[in-house]
Structure 1
Amino acid sequence: MATVDADLGPAPGGGGPSLATRFRRLPVDVWFKPLVIVVLAAGFFTWYATATFTDTEKAQLQWSVLQDTIWAHIKLTVIAAAIVIAIAVPLGILLTRPSLRRLTPIAVGVANVGQAAPAVGLLVLFTFAFGTGFKTAVLGLVVYAVLPILQNTIIGLRQVDANTIEASRGIGYSAARTLFQVELPLAVPVILNGVRTALVILVGTATLSTFIGATSLGTLITTGVNLFLPKVLVAGAILVALLALVIDWLGRLVELAATPKGVA
């Protein structure tokens, strides 16, 4: 006989929780954040479709230009994030190995320089060294976002129970196999949380790239401020907020999907 959930009807297949029951068990941010995104997006596009713009505002907010600006911002963020992940995760793994563990405070201290320095100042320094443009903006963003992923990779691997690692070695796993099949899967939630944090930081900080000649949603914000165009300024700010919320939510979904069963 099929099992029945008191409020939600029969569970599909006659066993296990129903779809709605599983939905209720999801963390609040997983289902609540999309509602915020939908409401904010609906409000923005309703305003965008009904507002009256001056010729100057239209030059910045016409859809073709807006699409290019949004895509430039996403491209800047994604490329910087990919480089940061490619650097910080392997480095974090190396720094948790016994032979290199003593170097951890030095590496974290160097990575912390990017977070401690003002983002605008960092970009200006790189501009003096490498000139203006997209590549310099990416470099500045990479330096600024290394710390969360590096730190979380180290913390995630260090919190893996030593007895679990010892048991893995005891059944014949090599050090490399233990790392990839035991340590990293157990550290995934913490590592991905660092990646999600870095992505949100990058989305916000990428707006500053407009000061060194790289197109981003910051272009709308600075244009709105410099020319006193409140509609352009508000549009840029809302789009940055929307992009940050969407990326944070997608990162949370990946985090949940990649977390092994039974790992909190």
Structure 2
Amino acid sequence: MRKGTLFSNLFRSVCFLCSVGFLVWAYQSGYFQLITDNPEEFSVLFTEHLKLVAISSLLAIVISFPIGILITRERFKTFEWFFLNLANMGQAVPSIAVLALIMLVLGIGLYTAVLALFMYSVLPILRNTVEGIRSVDHHLLDSARGMGLTPAQILFRIEIPNALPIIMGGIRTAVVLNIGSAALAYLIGGGGLGNYIFTGIEMLDSTYLLSGAVPVTLMAIVADYGLRLVERAMTSKGIRLQQSIIK
């Protein structure tokens, strides 16, 4: 085993043990009493948070992925600057400012929060889709053309499978960003675990703060790990082997 891999595994193990130790300490100290005493309220807020993330992330994937593929096609490359800069605007503006701007147009509520989170998560998916498609070895594409594959066959059999790890990296980034940013939805009546977080900030109460922040953090970790498993399941063994050799 290489030193880099050994150090990485050791670091992950230490972080995991520290996290478990912190959770045990916080539980024994009564910081999660709010959750244990009000499980129904927590369940509602958790479900709202999950709904915000799921809808906005799904919309971002459904829209960004096809556009990313489209602007890598030769005839549509001239539109690349427009879509990437448009997505950059959504990412460059602070998330709370995006919420405020959309709130002025649509008012408050779930759909306003979903739209704001959608705008905030488009760029990672769009950019990684473009970069992933472009990173495919040109020799593979030339070989596929030489074998008589059509452009559609090349896209679905060569380009997307080889670009999948990079594309999934963008999706993971967008989802994790969404989970953290969704806490701000509370400010515009969108619900979610931000209710506990901002109540804790206003009251200077660690019980409220940790009851919201810790589940959000765990949700982000689980989502990232789950998407890594999805990526691994969707990526062929040959591509995984090639990546391990490169690393």
Tell me the TM-score normalised to structure 1 length: 0.81
Matched, 1:51 2:27: no
Find 1:210's aligned residue among 171, 176, 186: 186
Which residue type is aligned with residue 44 of structure 1? L
Report the 3-state secondary structure (helix = DSSP H, G, I; strand = E; otherwise coil) of the residue aligned with 2:238. Answer: coil
Matched, 1:106 2:82: yes
Report the 3-state secondary structure (helix = DSSP H, G, I; strand = E; otherwise coil) of the residue aligned with 2:73. Answer: coil
Report the 3-state secondary structure (helix = DSSP H, G, I; strand = E; otherwise coil) of the residue aligned with 1:100. Answer: helix
Deviates more, 1:254-263 or 1:130-139: 254-263
Residues 36 and 217 (structure 1), Cα distance of their counterparts in 2 relative to 1, 3 Å cut = farther
Matched, 1:161 2:137: yes
Give, in whole Å, the separation in 1 of the partners of 2:7 and 2:57.
25
Q: 1:45-124 residue pairs with structure 2 within 5 A?
A: 47-48=26-27, 51=30, 58=34, 62-124=38-100
Residues 136 and 52 (structure 1), Cα distance of their counterparts in 2 relative to 1, 3 Å cut = closer
Report the 3-state secondary structure (helix = DSSP H, G, I; strand = E; otherwise coil) of the residue aligned with 1:262. Answer: helix
Report Cα offsets for 1:86-121 as digits up to 9, x if no partner: 011000000100001122122111100011101001
For 1:244, the equivalent position in structure 2 comes to: 220
Residues 60 and 216 (structure 1), Cα distance of their counterparts in 2 relative to 1, 3 Å cut = farther
Deviates more, 1:236-245 or 1:200-209: 236-245
Unaligned runs of 5+ in 2: none
Deviates more, 1:108-117 or 1:223-232: 223-232
Report Cα offsets for 1:124-171 as digits up to 9, x if no partner: 110110111111100000000000000000000011122211221221
Q: 1:92-241 residue pairs with structure 2 within 5 A?
A: 92-241=68-217
Structure richer in helix, relative to its length: 2
Q: 1:7-46 residue pairs with structure 2 within 5 A?
A: 40=19, 43-44=22-23
Aligned length: 237
Q: How large is the RMSD of aligned CA atoms in angstroms? A: 2.7
Tell me if the contact between 2:31 and 2:206 (Cα under 8 Å) persists in the aligned partners.
Answer: no
Q: Which runs of 4+ in 1 moved over 4 A?
A: 25-29, 31-39, 57-61
Give, in whole Å, the separation in 2 of the partners of 1:107 and 1:27.
40
Report the 3-state secondary structure (helix = DSSP H, G, I; strand = E; otherwise coil) of the residue aligned with 1:244. Answer: helix
Report the Cα offset of residue 259 of structure 1.
Answer: 2.0
Deviates more, 1:83-92 or 1:172-181: 172-181
Tell me if the contact between 2:68 and 2:126 (Cα under 8 Å) persists in the aligned partners.
Answer: yes
Which residue type is aligned with residue 56 of structure 2? A
Report the Cα offset of residue 47 of structure 1.
Answer: 3.7
User: Which one has a bigger Cα radius of gyration?
Assistant: 1
Tell me the TM-score normalised to structure 2 length: 0.86
Tell me if the contact between 1:84 and 1:142 (Cα under 8 Å) persists in the aligned partners.
Answer: yes
Q: Percent identity?
A: 36
Which residue type is aligned with residue 195 of structure 2? T
